[in-house]
Structure 1
Amino acid sequence: MHHKDSPFVIYGTSISPGLGQGITHVHQDLLGPIDVPVDIPHNQVEQELARLDFATAGISNDLVTLATRVEKEIDLRLSEVFGSHQLMLNDPLLQQELRQEVIDNLVSASSAVKAVFLRWERRFLTLESQFARDKGDDMRDISIRLHNALVGVTVHPLEEIPQGCVLIASRLLPSDTVFLSDRAISAVLLEYGSSGSHAALFVRQMGVPCLSGIPDLMKTVPADVLALVDADAGNVTLRPEKRQQAIFHQKVETKAQAYRLAIENARGPAVTLDGIKISVVANVGSDHDTQQAMINGAEGVGLYRMEQAYLGRTEPPSTAELVAEMTQVLAAAKGRSVCVRLLDVGADKPLPFLAFFAESNPALGRRGIRLLLEYPELLRTQLRAVLELSGEFDVRILIPMVTLPEDIVAVKDLLLPLCCEMHVGVPKIGAMIETPAAALSSKAIARHVDFLSFGTNDLTQYTCAADRENASVERYFNDASDPIFRLLSLVHEDVPHMPLSVCGELAGRPEHVAKLLTCGIRTLSVAAPLIPIVKEAIRNCSIYSD
């Protein structure tokens, strides 16, 4: 046991790299123990049910607003979380169980919420999978909202946290993360949260260092002490001595200097030591992303995700709305090449306005282009919008989830008549290589496209048969494993003259850049903050002489 004033070090798993220091702020769980139920007289049942309906409707609206805000300000994948919360909240089974609780047990709406949600949360938590445990988190999140709405609580506890602190929490719920986007916190320490969790995506997008998997965190870390968080090395020093602080500050300074140098050189081209020019472009989802990317030296947009324009809507956007949205988001990249990926939904990303038939295994069901070909009008609207955009931008079309050459032929059959009708040239077309089948049939696919882009996140998921959101198979999900590089090399050998790019997370990790280039990749598409670092990595490696 450490002495109460002496320094001590704890260790965790890094789910977002970086260095941060600040005073610890311990964030206790919000729900607390289950209160004694509040009994109500028989004649008050209708009134309580009305309160329940009113609170549900209010929160339902809040969640839609929240999804839109998160999508604009933070990240697309996170906004999907709130869309799913809204669906869960309005689940007929859940609503029925809440009403029964009030009617059968004569308790207040607020007591019913606590009891029913606790049952649901426990159901999920007793299941094995990480997915089910995340659902438990989601249920808790919704119950806190509903309970607060019923008792009139409007301030979120995280709104009270001090600026620049090191936040200590047992876990971060999706709705917690939204409040953090307005607070300049210097680091986060968590007891629970896998590297594929919502919390991890969020802290990485914000560039906040974060360690997770620290057992008994809430009991061992004191509040209001200085903490030095090194999420690059996976440790935290609490109550550091002067010497430890000096070493840490030196590390911070060295890292900052390297980043400043990278930023200074970021506008210049990325050329390897043996003279090969590599194109570094950006993955973007908002106008802020695109502006940041251009400042950081992006040569264009390698991936604009069309999902942005569809989320949080009860009906699909029209061509004009799509054009307006894309023009706004891509404005900063005018005059450069812009790659628009067609709508990639299905599986874990359902859209409220599409009548989805529940699939027993959605990840192996109708995703990406498979879904679009079933709803040709949806596809036609997107193609029309991209063609309208081609007047102002050097635009390319990227087809998601290609498995067969026929997928591309079907898109072209819709695209070519539109080009004639609108009197515009045919834009360059690319296929996303996200399945082993697509990689292994690149020769056949290459006949129909101008370039290929690897989505390494999905390619890894499908090659290793491991869902990246599922912590229990985390050790199987390795996007830098030999099989993945082997698939990339194979494609390059099969179609040596085809331009190849990578737009998955793998492209943004400097330590793998040299290996990617050796596999024939000549374009890397990465998140805006990573561009300078990736360009530096390219300048420090040689492709042919290693």
Structure 2
Amino acid sequence: MEFRGIGVSSGIVIGKVFRLEKITYDIKPNWVRDTEVDEEVARFLKAIHTSKEQLLSIRKKIESLADTAQLQIIDAHLLILDDQMLVNETVEYIKRHRLSAEWSLKRVLDKIGEQFDKMGDAYLKERKDDLSHIGNRIFNNLFGYGHTNLADLKEDVIVVAHDLSPADTAQMRKERVIGFVTEIGSKTSHTAIMAHSLEIPAVVGVTGIYDAVTTGESLIVDGIDGIVHVSPPQPTFIAYLNKQRRYKYYERELLKMKDLPAITTDQKKVTLLANIEFIGEVKSVLERGGEGIGLYRTEFLYMNRFYPPTEAEHFRVYKSLAEQLSSYPSIIRTLDLGGDKFISQLDVYEELNPVLGLRAIRLCLEHIDLFKTQLRAILKASHYGKLKIMYPMISGLDELREANAVLKEVMDELRKANIPFDEEIEVGIMIEIPSAAITSDILAEEADFFSIGTNDLIQYSIAIDRVNKNVSYLYEPLHPAILRLIARVIESGHAKGILVGMCGEMASDPKYTLLLLGLGLDQYSTNSDALLKIKKIIRSVSYAEAREIAQQALTYCSASETEKFITNLMEERFPDVFCYFGDGDED
């Protein structure tokens, strides 16, 4: 039986199923007597306390074994349990309506969940899952249910679940959990992040898989193509053994290039950096030959909480990043989300079109204290390594100057307090709005570097919502307008002597590597999995040849024509990169 989902961590694993029990809750509006209200409140607060103790116990148990990413997710969930909005509103609901703790908590969680549903950002929508996991833990304790401990597994298994909570994934050990499959999730869900962190094959979004398997059953997980085979027949089993062997061989060959420079045959050097969300990902980046971090998304620090992180919290993370990367650069992007979406204490009204509203640098310039807290922490941490600052969603020179004025204020404050920081810290901007791309020659006068954010640049240029399935077919990286904007930004940056990188998804796709190289891109900031594939391509060609390819691509009048040209060229030139593992269904 074959199932398809989303491969979120490459690799192929063959093993036995461990089916993680799915608990369902039958929660109804049960009334409590007036004399029992205080007792019901106490029962709820006890469930909160027990939930905290369980997570703290898990954290203590895994602290010496887990990476930073796992610990950060546990810490974020502990913060939710400490959040007064969640706790106080549930208590108030119990008292006001004389209803059970279970029903009151459900109503409060539903209310918060509705706020998440209104978000335009796919990453933020999926943080609703994290809230649900915390709710489920509290419900378990209210109902008196037990908790499965994946740390106690005695044999190698592939975990199959409806979903995996951060507490579940944090307890996974690579020595026992060799892969996992979930019914829900996406490339940006916490399960995907954990799969990358653990470096085990995983497929998420596999509808119906939970009811189709039993513990002990044979399973094949293809994290490359997002395929899962339940009780595979012998021909499929043999085919996947061969596919697994080919994939491992290819990975070993790629790793041989880890310490080689990303340089063309005619000596054009480019820099390969990586995009990360968690400090724990740094190890994987370095193991794959990354030369630094081209985009550190700081949004995770603000997620799963109703109050902004403190300067100390920011500083600890940025200092760790600086120290781990040593002499390699790390570009920290300042907050790139909308305040109404995740920090309830900010007075931000609901917007009809949040994608075009008060978000990113606009939010920071509206809430200067929030902005200065983050900038102070970055500057203080810059004393410990090579950090850079990058502003998102800059639309023009006035915004850049306003942001830099705030930065200067923070620098002056640190100097007066005799707090050391990198006085020469570089400050760049993301080019992700058409107005910024068109005026990139002006912005290059006052920015230290550019990083092209293709995800939003494509969305804003073609006027599509990239998470709207009805118009997703219009999301075209090779649209002539996009290529011309990219070419213009690179040309403008080079004319003023500044480096131009790219941190959008386009940079992570090896299919576009030669095209971007030919357009003159200086830095690729990619998913860590793509680093070695892109290096292999760059080391296989001359810059002169790449320029010819880019010029040819710019002559086409439609995205489909350019797509056909690029796809055929890359698959013909680099069959090992695009077709290296073969089809698992073939003998």
Q: Residues 149-180 of structure 1: CA distance to partner in whole angstroms, max 9, x if unpaired?
A: 22444524656666542333334456654444
User: Which residue number in structure 1 is paired with residue 514 of structure 2?
Assistant: 514
User: Which residue number in structure 1 is paired with residue 579 of structure 2?
Assistant: none
User: Which residue number in structure 2 is paired with residue 436 of structure 1?
Assistant: 434
Instruction: Name the CA shift for 1:277/1:157 in 2 (closer, same or farther; >3 Å).
Output: same
Instruction: Name the CA shift for 1:194/1:287 in 2 (closer, same or farther; >3 Å).
Output: closer
Alignment RMSD: 4.5
* 1:435/1:458 contact within 8 Å kept: yes
Shift of 1:523: 0.4
User: Which residue number in structure 1 is paired with residue 346 of structure 2?
Assistant: 355
1:265 is paired with a residue whose SS is: coil
Shift of 1:61: 8.9
Match of 2:532, as an amino acid? Answer: P
Instruction: Name the CA shift for 1:357/1:87 in 2 (closer, same or farther; >3 Å).
Output: farther
User: Which residue number in structure 2 is paired with residue 544 of structure 1?
Assistant: 547
Following the alignment from structure 2 to structure 1, what is the Cα–Cα distance between the partners of residues 313 and 116? 42
Match of 2:364, as an amino acid? Answer: L
User: Which residue number in structure 2 is paired with residue 300 of structure 1?
Assistant: 292
Match of 2:451, as an amino acid? Answer: S
User: Which residue number in structure 1 is paired with residue 455 of structure 2?
Assistant: 457
Match of 2:161, as an amino acid? Answer: A
Of stretches 77-86 and 438-447 in structure 1, the one that deviates more from structure 2 is 77-86
User: Which residue number in structure 1 is paired with residue 216 of structure 2?
Assistant: 224
Match of 2:502, as an amino acid? Answer: V
Instruction: State the TM-score, normalizing by the size of structure 1.
Output: 0.79
Following the alignment from structure 1 to structure 2, what is the Cα–Cα distance between the partners of residues 76 and 478? 35
1:189 is aligned to 2:189: no
Instruction: Name the CA shift for 1:415/1:11 in 2 (closer, same or farther; >3 Å).
Output: closer
Following the alignment from structure 1 to structure 2, what is the Cα–Cα distance between the partners of residues 455 and 87? 34
Following the alignment from structure 2 to structure 1, what is the Cα–Cα distance between the partners of residues 84 and 197? 26
Following the alignment from structure 1 to structure 2, what is the Cα–Cα distance between the partners of residues 404 and 130? 23
1:331 is aligned to 2:334: no
Following the alignment from structure 1 to structure 2, what is the Cα–Cα distance between the partners of residues 368 and 139? 23
* 2:297/2:333 contact within 8 Å kept: yes
User: Which residue number in structure 1 is paired with residue 69 of structure 2?
Assistant: 73
Of stretches 484-493 and 265-274 in structure 1, the one that deviates more from structure 2 is 484-493
Structure 1 unmatched runs, 5+:
1-7
User: Which residue number in structure 1 is paired with residue 553 of structure 2?
Assistant: none
Shift of 1:407: 1.7
Match of 2:349, as an amino acid? Answer: A
Match of 2:447, as an amino acid? Answer: V
Following the alignment from structure 1 to structure 2, what is the Cα–Cα distance between the partners of residues 20 and 36? 42
Instruction: Name the CA shift for 1:59/1:439 in 2 (closer, same or farther; >3 Å).
Output: farther
Following the alignment from structure 1 to structure 2, what is the Cα–Cα distance between the partners of residues 302 and 184? 33
* 1:196/1:470 contact within 8 Å kept: no
* 1:197/1:469 contact within 8 Å kept: no
Match of 2:217, as an amino acid? Answer: V
Q: Residues 48-86 of structure 1: CA distance to partner in whole angstroms, max 9, x if unpaired?
A: 122224434665798899999999324979987886787
Shift of 1:405: 0.9
Following the alignment from structure 1 to structure 2, what is the Cα–Cα distance between the partners of residues 345 and 119? 22
Q: Residues 451-490 of structure 1: CA distance to partner in whole angstroms, max 9, x if unpaired?
A: 1012233334444555566667655556566654443223
User: Which residue number in structure 2 is paired with residue 259 of structure 1?
Assistant: 251
* 1:286/1:329 contact within 8 Å kept: no
Of stretches 276-285 and 79-88 in structure 1, the one that deviates more from structure 2 is 79-88
Following the alignment from structure 2 to structure 1, what is the Cα–Cα distance between the partners of residues 28 and 402? 61
Instruction: Name the CA shift for 1:245/1:71 in 2 (closer, same or farther; >3 Å).
Output: closer
User: Which residue number in structure 1 is paired with residue 446 of structure 2?
Assistant: 448
Following the alignment from structure 1 to structure 2, what is the Cα–Cα distance between the partners of residues 493 and 85? 50
Q: Residues 230-275 of structure 1: CA distance to partner in whole angstroms, max 9, x if unpaired?
A: 2323433333344433332222222222222222221110112443
Instruction: Name the CA shift for 1:39/1:156 in 2 (closer, same or farther; >3 Å).
Output: farther
Instruction: Name the CA shift for 1:224/1:488 in 2 (closer, same or farther; >3 Å).
Output: same
Following the alignment from structure 1 to structure 2, what is the Cα–Cα distance between the partners of residues 315 and 347? 10
User: Which residue number in structure 2 is paired with residue 4 of structure 1?
Assistant: none
* 1:166/1:185 contact within 8 Å kept: yes
1:127-276 matches, within 5 Å, as 140-153=132-145, 155-156=147-148, 164-172=156-164, 176-180=168-172, 184-276=176-268
* 1:372/1:378 contact within 8 Å kept: yes
User: Which residue number in structure 1 is paired with residue 499 of structure 2?
Assistant: 499
User: Which residue number in structure 2 is paired with residue 31 of structure 1?
Assistant: 24
Q: Residues 411-459 of structure 1: CA distance to partner in whole angstroms, max 9, x if unpaired?
A: 3334457378679744332111122222222122111112101223333
* 1:158/1:180 contact within 8 Å kept: yes
User: Which residue number in structure 1 is paired with residue 401 of structure 2?
Assistant: 409
Shift of 1:194: 4.1
Following the alignment from structure 2 to structure 1, what is the Cα–Cα distance between the partners of residues 394 and 22? 44
Q: Residues 91-128 of structure 1: CA distance to partner in whole angstroms, max 9, x if unpaired?
A: 86655544456x26xxx534x35875898799899999
Match of 1:544, as an amino acid? Answer: R
User: Which residue number in structure 1 is paired with residue 565 of structure 2?
Assistant: none
Shift of 1:300: 2.9
Following the alignment from structure 1 to structure 2, what is the Cα–Cα distance between the partners of residues 188 and 86? 30
Following the alignment from structure 1 to structure 2, what is the Cα–Cα distance between the partners of residues 479 and 85? 41
* 2:293/2:330 contact within 8 Å kept: yes
Instruction: Name the CA shift for 1:274/1:440 in 2 (closer, same or farther; >3 Å).
Output: same
2:256 is paired with a residue whose SS is: helix
Of stretches 49-58 and 416-425 in structure 1, the one that deviates more from structure 2 is 416-425
Shift of 1:279: 0.6
Of stretches 408-417 and 73-82 in structure 1, the one that deviates more from structure 2 is 73-82
Instruction: Name the CA shift for 1:230/1:430 in 2 (closer, same or farther; >3 Å).
Output: same
* 2:335/2:360 contact within 8 Å kept: yes
Following the alignment from structure 2 to structure 1, what is the Cα–Cα distance between the partners of residues 513 and 88? 49
* 1:310/1:316 contact within 8 Å kept: yes
User: Which residue number in structure 1 is paired with residue 281 of structure 2?
Assistant: 289
User: Which residue number in structure 2 is paired with residue 9 of structure 1?
Assistant: 2
Instruction: Name the CA shift for 1:390/1:259 in 2 (closer, same or farther; >3 Å).
Output: same
* 1:323/1:385 contact within 8 Å kept: yes
What is the number of equivalent residue pairs in this alignment? 531
Instruction: Name the CA shift for 1:225/1:544 in 2 (closer, same or farther; >3 Å).
Output: same
Percent identity between the two aligned chains? 25
Shift of 1:182: 7.2
Instruction: Name the CA shift for 1:97/1:113 in 2 (closer, same or farther; >3 Å).
Output: closer
Q: Residues 178-237 of structure 1: CA distance to partner in whole angstroms, max 9, x if unpaired?
A: 444778533333334344544444434544433345443334344422112223234333
Match of 2:281, as an amino acid? Answer: D
Following the alignment from structure 2 to structure 1, what is the Cα–Cα distance between the partners of residues 243 and 135? 43
Instruction: Name the CA shift for 1:545/1:74 in 2 (closer, same or farther; >3 Å).
Output: farther
Following the alignment from structure 1 to structure 2, what is the Cα–Cα distance between the partners of residues 265 and 51? 58
* 2:83/2:306 contact within 8 Å kept: no
